[in-house]
Copies of this chain bind each other. A is one copy, B any other.
Amino acid sequence: MRQVKGMEQPVLQIIGVLHGDIVSRDDAPKNYSESQRAGTLEIYPEYRDGLDGIVAGQTIVVLFWLHQASREVLKVYPRGDRSRGLRGVFATRSPIRPNPLAISELQVLAVDGCRIEVSGLDILDGTPIVDIKKTLSQ
């Protein structure tokens, strides 16, 4: 693994976990823009201060760590369609990639302390959350 001079190897902090009803990849929408599935972002209490300002009605950008995805493969069939041939993972939205980070834009339905109800999910139940951001469009 590459080391950047003078920099520690980046280790992610898990800030929370997704609770949802998608339990297998076959059941998952191909991406968030095709989903109305709802679920809950459970953020761990030590990160609660970071949520101040997130309110119902917003769209937020959520980064998930797809801990079940392969990190060793650099070419895939986009959306599983073999007719179009292999493509580099960086030219796709495949969960398979060296750092399996997923970006979702989710609608905030409600906020209750450390629990954020969202819709638009394409991510499996139990997936770790590593970041939340404001969208640029707001």
Query: How far is B133's CA from A93's CA once the two chains are assembled, in angstroms?
Result: 6
Interface size classification for chain A: 35 or more
Q: Does A109 contact B (CB under 8 A)?
A: no
Q: Which residues of B contact A31 (CB under 8 A)?
A: 136
Q: Which residues of B contact A12 (CB under 8 A)?
A: 9-12, 99
Within 8 A of B (CB), among A1-37: 1-4, 7, 9-15, 17, 31-33
Q: Which residues of B contact A130 (CB under 8 A)?
A: 10, 98-99, 101
| A74 and B47 contacting across the interface, CB-CB below 8 Å | yes
Chain A residues within 8 Å of B, Cβ to Cβ: 1-4, 7, 9-15, 17, 31-33, 43-44, 47, 49-54, 60-61, 63, 65, 67, 71, 74-75, 86-93, 97-99, 101, 103, 128, 130-134, 136
Query: How far is B32's CA from A47's CA once the two chains are assembled, in angstroms?
Result: 26
Query: How far is B54's CA from A37's CA once the two chains are assembled, in angstroms?
Result: 31
Q: Which residues of B contact A33 (CB under 8 A)?
A: 136
Which partner residue on chain B sits nearest A137 by CB separation?
B33
| B13 and A11 contacting across the interface, CB-CB below 8 Å | no
CB distance from A102 to the nearest CB of B (A): 9
| A99 and B15 contacting across the interface, CB-CB below 8 Å | yes
Q: Which residues of B contact A1 (CB under 8 A)?
A: 11, 13-14
**Contacts A50-B75, A74-B50, A103-B103; is A92 near B133 (CB within 8 Å)?**
yes
